[in-house]
Copies of this chain bind each other. A is one copy, B any other.
Amino acid sequence: MSANENEIKAETKETGRLEAFSDGVIAVAITLLALEIKVPPIDEGGALLGRLIEQWPIYLAFLLSFATIGIMWVNHHRLFTVIRRVDHNFLILNALLLMGITLVPFTSALVGEYIGHEGEEIAAMIYSGVFVVIAVFFNLMWWYAARHNWVVLEGENLRMARVINRQYRFGPLYYLIALILAPFSVFLSIGLNIALAIYFALPANVVKYLIFREEI
């Protein structure tokens, strides 16, 4: 094994543990989302099915939040497939990103419980607001990694990375629009969040087609 290979191994270990820790935090946060779905108390009147159906905003919030955190994980995963180094500032940026993600079970519960009640606009604003913050830190991480030439890409991969980058660059703006929409229409604000989850879940080559009108 050459010195170079040992170095690659050391670097892989370096990012490896950051990925493992981030995976742990994201995995716990995404699983805690489901804790918000509560079993209706037995002693209350009414048929179980009806009371379960009444909780539909909780399920909607769960589905949307799960999809959004899931996509964030995919994005995080992708980021680390193209970089091999981290430094102190990058660790801090990553920690701030994770802080945003751990707040999602709270904002998801907030919006799930307040939709259709007084205060739903505030709930929807906070929901999108946390996603603005997370999207900002994602962009900062990509930008920081690019600025330090950590991104290792060639040929078709480089091209695809540019597409992904373009797909995500406007994330903060999109979520900011959802935030600004909330006081006017919670329906539109949440609807935009759903549309964004679908948009970010599209494979990169579909996005490439949508953006460049190129053959896939």
Contact = CB atoms under 8 A, between A and B. Distances in A.
Interface of A: 1, 5, 12-14, 17-21, 23-35, 37, 39, 42, 47-49, 52, 63, 66-67, 70, 73-74, 77, 80-81, 87-89, 91-92, 95, 98-99, 102-103, 105-106, 109-110, 113-114, 117-119, 122-123, 126, 201, 203-204
Contact of A81 (B12, B14, B103, B126): B14
Nearest to A86: B77
A18 to B, nearest CB: 8
A204 B23 CA distance: 26
Contacts of A105: 34-35
Given A20-B23, A27-B28, 19 more contacts: A12-B13, A14-B81, A19-B20, A21-B27, A23-B24, A24-B24, A24-B26, A25-B31, A30-B98, A30-B102, A34-B102, A39-B110, A52-B122, A66-B95, A66-B99, A77-B91, A88-B203, A88-B204, A92-B201
A123 B81 CA distance: 43
Given A28-B24, A30-B25, A92-B201, A103 B37 contact: yes
6 contacts: A17-B19, A28-B31, A35-B106, A37-B106, A48-B119, A74-B91
Most chain B beta carbons < 10 A, residue from A30, A47, A74, A113: A30
Nearest to A34: B102
Given A88-B203, A118-B48, A122-B49, A23 B17 contact: yes
Contacts of A31: 25, 28-29, 32, 102
Nearest to A74: B91
